Amino acid sequence: MKILDIINTGSKELKLNHVNSYRLDSEILMSKVLSKRREEVLINLDQELNNKQILEFNQLIRRRASKEPIAYILEQKEFWSRDFKVNRHTLIPRPETELMIEKLIQIFKNKSISILDVGTGSGCILISLVSELKNASGVGIDVSKKALQIAKKNAYLNKINNKVKFLKCSFEHSNFKKFDLIVSNPPYIERGKIKRLNDDIKNHEPWVALDGGNDGLDVIAKVIYKARYTLKINGTLALEIGNGQFKKVSKLLRNNNFRLINNIKDYKENTRCIISNLI
């Protein structure tokens, strides 16, 4: 069978299973099977596939039809113009987080800083920052050993493993030297709302990285409190937050001796990141 016929068949199956990006995903999965760029696949639609390739493609389509995220199937996700390894032990990097990276690079350009990334996951935040800020070094921490394995691999692939290290520990019980910058994309979804998330997220992404407690602020509050004692004076805390959490998180920051310096809005004009300095 030809590539076009197989892509069409896969696309129909995904559509029947309510995958919105059914055509695009079918094309992307074909490019994985053939180990070619999607654009290259699309200009060779008359190419014949062998049975092994068809079988592999159908297996990938079934995974996507079950709402497994395309990033987990591909085992990678582009973030900040770099490819990062991801799996079910790490959150999938989001475009909104790139907005935080962009602002922090503006703030710390040409400065020599130490960075702590709390709940590092795939390491995408820390690795992106250290790759751009040539005089920066950092530590990423996470409670998941398997997530840290991915982060270490990403540091190696991005050729900055000599500037970062990753440790398994809880921030709450850590005892570090003081840092210039602490960054975190903590769990911030209210526990009762997790079941309402898209199947791609609630059935596949790690709950430990989603569950922010009953009000969504449990982990955020702990990060803010501990950051008081882990930042240098005038040190910076950059937090990603959920929709509608700005007022409550701002109050937590002010109550813990932080001064707000930047609010970053996402593409829908929701405040999704707060950058503050320790007074």
- DSSP assignment of 91-156, as one string? PPP-HHHHHHHHHHHHHHTT--EEEEEET-TTSHHHHHHHHH-TTEEEEEEES-HHHHHHHHHHHH
Burial environment of residue 132 by CB neighbours within 10 A (0 to 12, 13 to 18, 19 or more):
middle
Token pair 């955020």 in the structure block, residue: 220
DSSP assignment letter at 216:
S
Q: What is the full DSSP assignment across 102-114? A: HHHHHHHTT--EE
Q: For the chain, which residues make up each domain, given as ranges?
A: 3-66, 76-278
Give the CATH superfamily of 76-278: Vaccinia Virus protein VP39 (3.40.50.150)
Tens-level pLDDT at each residue, the chain (279 residues) = 999 999 999 999 999 999 999 999 999 999 999 999 999 999 999 999 999 999 999 999 999 999 999 999 999 999 999 999 999 999 999 998 999 999 999 999 999 999 999 999 999 999 999 999 999 999 999 999 999 999 999 999 999 999 999 999 999 888 888 999 999 999 999 999 999 999 999 999 999 999 999 999 999 999 999 999 999 999 999 999 998 999 999 999 999 999 999 999 988 888 999 999 999
- Sequence-separated (6 or more) residues with CB below 8 Å from residue 162: none
DSSP assignment letter at 197:
S
What's this model's pTM, rounded to 2 decimal places? 0.93
